[in-house]
Amino acid sequence: MTSPNPLKKKLAARKLTSGLWITLESPTITEIAVTLGLDFVVIDAEHGHLDFKELLEHIRATRNSDTVPLVRIQEIEQGLIKRVLDLGAGGILVPQIHSADEVQRAVRFAKYPPWGQRGVGGERATHWGMGLKSDTMIANSETLVIPLMENVSAGKSIEQICDVPGVDAIQFGPADYSASAGSLGDWEGPGVAAQLLHIKDRIRARGIPCGMLCRDSTELLKRRDQGFQMLGLNSDTGLLIRGLQHALKTLTLPREPLPEPSTPRRDSSRDRAAHRLKTDRRSKR
């Protein structure tokens, strides 16, 4: 991050923030999110098929805006984190963490010395080397590191995870947490909802914001009222699928009867005679 991070500032001020999860290739999706004034986009590089070129185009679409591009990386790997941040991401989401040690490693790879061991490169993150000193100085304080709390092990270690310097927020993953709790395929398996809320309260008591990806408007309002501060409005594919499903369902509604067609008016013999007389007068002029 090469300038003050507006998302970090809003989270620190306990403001409600909203964003979109990106899984498809077209940077136009991110451009629309920017036009709508969303606070962030999460570009998902953990699942799916997005490559570095596509990540770059999504990040590029946020340039000169207050929409912060975050990348969900696939694993805690130094070279991967360095490249994603060099492309210009405002932060990373770190999946499948189990312990504070893993979070510490992610923070170390995301921060320049002396906070960490991120390598210095002449890429977009430093304005191609033209802002080498100023950009690297600001990056350590502005780059977001957000672990995903998505398994039972992380829930049990949440106090130690919250103690790691450099953690800016914690994102929840109900489906993965449910899978680790023995309910594979459920969004929130038996007892999971209560467990997640208990963990969320412990995190917020430490002054750390919590985030959640929502699937529809009902869940969005519920998570807002539960105190989640960083809300994913949905994913691009989720919105597309639900919109099409709604349209298809609309077509199954009973047909309304069409109005009976009106009977065309037939000319009477008097009408036909008047028409002939009018035509004759025009021809004599």
Task: Provide the pLDDT for residue 87.
Answer: 96
Q: 231 with 18: CB under 8 angstroms? A: yes
- Per residue in 125-148, pLDDT (tens digit) is 999 999 999 999 999 999 999 999
| Residue 30: inside a domain | yes
CA gap 47, 162 in Å, rounded: 26
Name the residues annotated as catalytic: 47
Dmax (CA) of the chain? 105
| Residue 129: inside a domain | yes
Place of tokens 């349209």: 247
Residue partners of 35: CB distance under 8 A and separation at least 6: none
Task: Provide the pLDDT for residue 278.
Answer: 64
121 φ, ψ to 5°?
A: -130, 155
Q: How far is CA 93 from the centre of its chain?
A: 12
The domain that contains 186 carries what CATH number? 3.20.20.60
| Residue 15: inside a domain | yes
CA gap 13, 164 in Å, rounded: 20
pLDDT at 74 over 80: yes
| Residue 136: inside a domain | yes
The arithmetic mean of pLDDT across residues 156-170, rounded, is: 97
pLDDT at 1 over 90: no
Assign 34 a pLDDT band (cuts: 50, 70, 90).
Answer: very high
What's the domain range around 184? Answer: 6-238
| Residue 64: inside a domain | yes
| Residue 248: inside a domain | no
- H or E element, residue 99: none
- How many structural domains is the chain composed of? 1
Which of 175-189, 246-260, 267-281 is least confident?
267-281
| Residue 265: inside a domain | no
| Residue 264: inside a domain | no
Assign 54 a pLDDT band (cuts: 50, 70, 90).
Answer: very high
